[in-house]
Structure 1
């Protein structure tokens, strides 16, 4: 922010909003997290803007614009404070718990799965379609990574409507040229008025940026060589058409783009299935600590090792310690700096970062089991959603089945036909009750087996139910045992 902020921690705005901390800043504004004193526990985002001469109308226009909009992917504005004697205005809106796409990209070094990019595009098209069908149509005009929020459930929210505007049919050209270089359409710099097709150009620039690892956002001859190989070939003509210099040569509506991407998505799913035939990826996610996620992962891994030649168990998260203890037991000595170790021919990867997970998945394993631990962040969710066999481990206790149902509701918006809910030590009645509550989803009881490295007949039957339709059959004997004290 070019002007000093007037907000400090503990200050109270409008006798209601207590400032807790700064969330971000840029240009002529700062955004703060605030607690609602009238609604204890409720958090809001407070945007502080400086209104220099001639700027107040811009800030007020943003507030008035947002009050007319109502969509799940847009923030609600709940309060607005007109400029004080120093020209500072304050807008109170929904606090979106998550991170910007820009920050997300920096955390993952630009790597996103092809499925994630496809889902992101459809979510953006959903909200752009709403804005463009508004009366009058609303043009966002700044579709860049820092203006896109991702919630903990990986849902998109558009933020910062500072340069959005209503389309005026009688105007031939924008009065003010605004937009981020590299993501804004050519007409935003002169020669025409921005409209819905300008946002579609911005979407194309964003997709190209994501699929080239953050290198390019404008189409040029030969850019195809820089697009990741795991991106469906059907995506290329979509991006090329979105990025046409002349608006009349682009798609004319968000609905047209969505239809074209759906066709490309079918190609992508076919490509994903072909890759899955080479490596079977299982992701195991616990509903809460102590439900037996790691124990179940080891059982699954050694079950798969009876049928596949090369299997890896990956402990995702650099701060976890379960695999460290296993390595110490297996090797009879404290662990060193090498995080990969083997038991009976199975590779274990302990305390694995997100970047290393990608490397393991790109390797030559026949099957990979990801121990995601307890659901807590977006990177675990992404790996869970991309897995061939996603498994949720929950407690069979009746008073803890709420944890399973809560996580199931959070994941309901993601289509995963192969998702399995596994309950260690569950009775048949508990399985039936949860299956009914989940609308017929696959629910499997995992029987008692103290040593996950030795497969009991009952545990093997449970594993076969989980992996029905996925397995090759090639038996191998395992001999490693835990020494239980």
Structure 2
């Protein structure tokens, strides 16, 4: 950005919004995190933009546009400060906790789960349908990975309406040609006025980008060959139609595209799941314990480590797998184990007290482990937020949810159970470190399950704790073990 920011940490805007830190910047703006001094603890995003006097109207237009909209996938504007004498203006809006699709995509090295691609497309079409049926119609015009935020639950939010506009029936082409090269429709560069079909082109470019691991965002001769082999082939003609050069050859509405994608999903669901058949076969000899946090800061990794070493102490061969792409925990443990020596060949596997740790592990590697020599594979899934990790949780022999023992945070686990109510929950276990007896009983009643347990204080999950072993023996009695291969291993009350 050519213009320096006027905002500093600790500065207060309008006597109410105290700047905490910078969280982003774009071509014509900076974005800061701010605390509301009238509502202590409440955080907002403050977008600082600067423009020349003849562009002041565009800043006001963005504010008025956003203020007029109301949708769960759009940021809510709560305050607006018009241009000062230097052209600086400020929008105060919802602070969306999460990461951009760009960073999420990068974290998966371009191969995000197939389910996630369809989920994101459906959410995008939901909000586009709202914008395109608004009065007046609103065209976003800049669908790209960096303008899409994802919450911890993989809920999508559109951000940065800097070039959005109202569709004007009387115009033959856009007054200002704007958009990101590779994602913007041809008409945004002078061949006509952008309309709802321009956003659908942007959706097609985004889908192609996600489907080719970032190799393509425009339809070329190599595009179809670059589409991932694990994606349904029925998706290809949909993407091609979205990316037609002439708007009249594309889909007319977001609702139409949404219906087409839903048909693809329904068709795929009718196919036999060969992966499930294969997984069931290999799991005859290996049991899976999947550990997922209901929210951040519950001790998910700590609990997964404690369970793994408990199993290993009972003469079992155990693998502890990290499937949280953002977590630095296993890397730090590996550094401690190796000391100053880098891992041989960059290996992601290391051993601690009889447990094999597998750092930053992809799902394909987990399937390999399941067909190996392990009695148990314990998967650290991190916090509940992403559908691919949710799938591993649902498919586990023993799905464990780690929830805070504090009563004031129990709503997190209740919200999670409610949001996943369409799935069978009979096998689910809820572990609550340091929870009081009353809190456990209350949650059992509210979740209608007896599978809620308090875990004792366990400062070092790697070492044996008589109290923790007693509790885990009680919890897992009759659940783990039981195959011919694992008869030497028995759970019982001590």
TM-score normalised by L of structure 1: 0.79
Q: Which of 292, 295, 313 is 1:285 aligned to?
A: 292
Residues 65/336 of structure 1: CA separation in 2 closer, same or farther (3 Å cut): closer
Asked whether the equivalents of residues 407 and 439 of structure 2 are also in contact (C-alpha less than 8 Å), the reply is no
- Cα deviation code 1:423-464 (max 9, x no counterpart): 4699999988646523x5794779999798xx9798353359
Residue matched to 1:468: none
Deviates more, 1:166-175 or 1:67-76: 166-175
SS at match of 1:258: helix
SS at match of 1:111: coil
SS at match of 2:485: coil
Distance 2:311 2:141 in 1: 49
Distance 2:313 2:237 in 1: 44
Residue matched to 1:392: 400
Asked whether the equivalents of residues 422 and 446 of structure 1 are also in contact (C-alpha less than 8 Å), the reply is no
Distance 1:249 1:403 in 2: 51
**Structure 2 stretches lacking a partner, 5+ long:** 281-287, 457-464
Distance 1:341 1:88 in 2: 53
Residue matched to 2:157: 157
Deviates more, 1:258-267 or 1:73-82: 258-267
Distance 2:170 2:230 in 1: 44
Residue matched to 2:429: 422
Residues 176/423 of structure 1: CA separation in 2 closer, same or farther (3 Å cut): closer
Residue matched to 2:125: 125
Asked whether the equivalents of residues 101 and 146 of structure 1 are also in contact (C-alpha less than 8 Å), the reply is yes
Residues 297/192 of structure 1: CA separation in 2 closer, same or farther (3 Å cut): farther
Distance 1:269 1:442 in 2: 33
Q: How much does 1:53 deviate?
A: 3.2
Asked whether the equivalents of residues 293 and 373 of structure 1 are also in contact (C-alpha less than 8 Å), the reply is no
Distance 1:442 1:160 in 2: 46
Are 1:314 and 2:321 matched, yes or no? Answer: yes
Q: How much does 1:106 deviate?
A: 2.4
Q: How does 1:368-379 map to 2 (within 5 A)?
A: 369-372=377-380, 375=383
Distance 2:108 2:391 in 1: 16
Residue matched to 1:365: 370
Q: How much does 1:251 deviate?
A: 1.6
Asked whether the equivalents of residues 140 and 164 of structure 1 are also in contact (C-alpha less than 8 Å), the reply is yes
**Structure 1 stretches lacking a partner, 5+ long:** 329-333, 465-472
Distance 2:187 2:334 in 1: 57
Distance 1:416 1:111 in 2: 27
Distance 2:378 2:212 in 1: 27
SS at match of 1:20: strand
Q: How much does 1:259 deviate?
A: 1.2
Residues 108/423 of structure 1: CA separation in 2 closer, same or farther (3 Å cut): closer
Residue matched to 1:239: 239
Q: How much does 1:143 deviate?
A: 0.4
The root-mean-square deviation of aligned C-alpha atoms, in Å, is 4.2
Residue matched to 2:101: 101
Residue matched to 2:484: 475
Are 1:437 and 2:446 matched, yes or no? Answer: yes
Asked whether the equivalents of residues 98 and 149 of structure 1 are also in contact (C-alpha less than 8 Å), the reply is yes
Distance 1:167 1:476 in 2: 67
SS at match of 2:429: strand
Residue matched to 2:476: 459
Q: How much does 1:222 deviate?
A: 4.2
Distance 1:342 1:84 in 2: 60
Residue matched to 2:415: 409
Residue matched to 1:467: none
TM-score normalised by L of structure 2: 0.78
Residue matched to 1:469: none
Are 1:42 and 2:42 matched, yes or no? Answer: yes
Distance 1:186 1:411 in 2: 45
Distance 1:342 1:481 in 2: 24
Residues 221/413 of structure 1: CA separation in 2 closer, same or farther (3 Å cut): farther
Residues 49/428 of structure 1: CA separation in 2 closer, same or farther (3 Å cut): closer
Asked whether the equivalents of residues 242 and 250 of structure 1 are also in contact (C-alpha less than 8 Å), the reply is yes
Residue matched to 2:459: none
Q: How much does 1:413 deviate?
A: 4.0
Q: How does 1:133-152 map to 2 (within 5 A)?
A: 133-152=133-152
Residues 9/283 of structure 1: CA separation in 2 closer, same or farther (3 Å cut): same
Residues 405/168 of structure 1: CA separation in 2 closer, same or farther (3 Å cut): same
Q: How much does 1:130 deviate?
A: 0.8
Residue matched to 2:460: none
